[in-house]
Each structure stands twice: as structure tokens, then as C-alpha cells.
Amino acid sequence: MLRHSLVVFLTFCLALRLSYSRRAPYAMRISCGARNDVHTPPTNTLWYKDFAYTGGIPTNGTRPSFVTPPLHTVRYFPLSEGPENCYNINRVPKGHYSVRIFFGLVAEPNFDNEPLFDVSVEGTQIESLKSGWSEHDDEQAFVEALIFLTDGSASLCFHSTGHGDPAILAIEILQVDDNAYSFGSQWGQGTILKTDRRLSCGAKNPKFDVDYSGDNWGGDRFWNPLKTFGQSSDQTITTTKSIKQASTSPNFYPEALYQTALASTDIQPDLAYTMDVDPNRNYSIWFHFAEIDPSVTGAGQRVFDILINGDVAFRDVDIVNMSGGIYSALVLNKTVAINGRTLTVTMHPTKGHALINAVEIFEVITAESKTLPDEVSALQTLKSALGLPLRFGWNGDPCVPQQHPWSGADCQFDKTSSKWVIDGLTPQYVGVIVKRA
């Protein structure tokens, strides 16, 4: 009887643990400028109304890309309200998050319909919009980064650069596994992974994880289709068979991602993809494979090397051997320093043909150290007490990102606390503050 009770108790504990581990991840979606909550087709996704997060002006907006959520309002930030404006979102549980910001266009003819501005998350600049971003139906319509949020809030800031008023259409803060995209000793709470590109090889259309019926813990990633590596250089392979080891912790990739692939041919044995990158940065590259070609039935029939900018990253890749069988997912990761302005990944076959299902490329960014909270609070109190003009800005963190410190604030880095401190205010701003007082 005692043994039976113990078994029942342990079974209950195991079930409780599994139930807890599969709880729904935290998700906050904001329709910027919206006065009411919005549900968007085809997935009936809930976007919360835009209330009390920030300043700026809500207005009607237009979508610059078909991958942008079907929302119809934006919030824009005129320079008269200051060079820095932020969304401050509280009550965010401590954890690892995919933060995505969709850009919009103000639906009025007298506005510059393509503002250029910088974006920072938690004090670290992650994006600087380039001319032409609104004319591309791909990742340029939004910026996305994987970041740890540890203080119960999220700060997303937009920094004017003198080229139009920042306009934001939507914000997503989606919790992912704490160990998602771990790539080695450089990875951790001080590291931000900015999504540069996600490519689904052989796919016909762009899709989000939700379109693939992916697990919510994947963060609803966006996958651009890569239909070919070049004219007549490859062939598309598809399958409807189930893929083993696909949607597993900690990254939870959708199974359908591995059901399409591109394979090389005798005409062009190599599969090569080149993209422009910022020089002198580190990039983390994730390769996805599954042997879905019915002509390959065992190990040793398809073997290839993976090169990054001509250097061998993985030698003698045998998908069947390394994944444990056919129709089984294999993920490989390599993080490299890129000195030039291009990044080329190449699959070079040594036996049979090369094949790849998907590839992800992230820029590795070191998170900025923030300003001491007491000093931030003191300046914010001063701003509020004196009713300083909106044009002062003074939103977000006073000292970071270092490209956009608060006007008038002199910052110094304190090595003891590993935080920024305020070393004083410039005489010009002291004079303005004295007059306001």
C-alpha cells in the first residue's frame, strides 16, 4: 500500500512538473497608436491598445511591407518632443526574450514617408535604419533581437537622426527559453543577438513560426524563402514525412522548416550564399539540415564541408550519420569574427551533392552597461519638478546608448560598479535649469 501511494505521489509530481514546464510563455504585443485592443487575421492574434507606455502622437498609419501585421495606426515622435523617445513596459517577468519592433509610415501626404532613425533596447543600440528600408518586403520592415530582461521592465527607445520623425507600428515582447541560441562562452546575459537573416531553403513563401504551427516558445520567428542559390544551380526537395528531433528544447524549431530543402546539382556542385554585413563584428550562424531526399538511404551517401568566407567551419558533414538517421533534424552553429563587408556561407560536397534546409544569421552585440538607477531617478525627478521642455528629451537612460546620451549630461564610467554615473551637467543646461527654477 505504501509503495502504491509513493508511486502515485511521484507520478503526480512528475505530471505537475511537466505541466509547469509547458506553461505558456509571456507575450506582450502592442498595436502602437491604437485606442482599443485589436485582433488580427488569420491567427486572431491579440494586440493590446497603446496606453501610458510613452509620449509621441498616435495617428493613422500604413504598412510598408506585407510581412507587417495588418494594423492601421502608428505612434510617431516629432523632434519637438525631444531626440529620444522610449516605450517603457513594466511587469515583464525576468527571462530571455525575442523583442521585435515593426516600423510604420504616417498616413499623411505632408510627412516624410520614410523616416531614418536609430533603435535601442535596454540602452544598447541595435539598429540604424538605412535609406530604402520601406521598399523591401523582408526583415527590413522590422528589427528583432534576443535579449535578457532582468529588472521587471523593458525599455525600447527611438533616437532621431534628423531624417524624419520615428514612427512605430507594433511592438512584440515574446518570451523564449532561457537557453535559446546558446553558442558558447561569449553567450549570456551580457549578449544580445540581433537577427540579421533567417532563410527557409526551398520554401515558396515567407512565413512566421505561427504559420508553421510552431511552438510558442520559439518566439514566432520570421523565415524568408530562399528559392534558389542561383540559376539552374540547385534543385528543390520537399517532403510531407514527419521530421524527428525538430521542435525540441531550447530553440523549438517548427517541424515544417525541415520539410523543404535546396540541394546542389552537377551543374554547380557548391551551394553558396553571400550577404552584406557590417565589418568588424561577430556573427553567429545556425545551419539546419534534415535528409529528406528519398534517393539517400544511409550514411556516407552525402558528405560536404561548410565554409564561412572561405574558411572551413565544419568538415565532412554527413547529415544521416550526425542526426541519427534520415528524416531527422540536425542543427550546427558557428560564431565567427567578420572583418570585411560580406559574409559568404558555402556548402562544398565531397561525396554526392550538398543540401541545406535553413540558415539563421545573427549579429552578436555586447550589451551596454546602464547608468546607476539612483542617478537616473534623480535626473527624472529634476525634469519633472522643473517642468523642463519636451525638446530636452531626457527619456530612457542618460548615458547609453553611447551614440545618444541625454543632452547636457556628462557621463563617466565607474569601474567599481560597472555602471555609468552622472559627472555633472553642461553649463548651457545648468543655465536653462536655473531659469526654469
pLDDT at 427: 65
pLDDT block averages, 10 residues each, the chain of length 437: 51 48 88 98 95 95 93 96 94 98 92 90 97 83 96 96 96 98 92 97 96 96 95 90 97 98 94 95 98 97 98 98 98 97 98 98 97 92 80 88 92 95 77 56
pLDDT at 384: 83
pLDDT at 390: 75
CA 177 vs. chain centroid, Å, equals 14
CA 370 vs. chain centroid, Å, equals 21
250 cis-preceded (ω within 30 degrees of 0): yes
Which residues neighbour 135 within 8 Å (Cβ) at sequence distance 6 or greater? 64
pTM metric for this prediction = 0.91
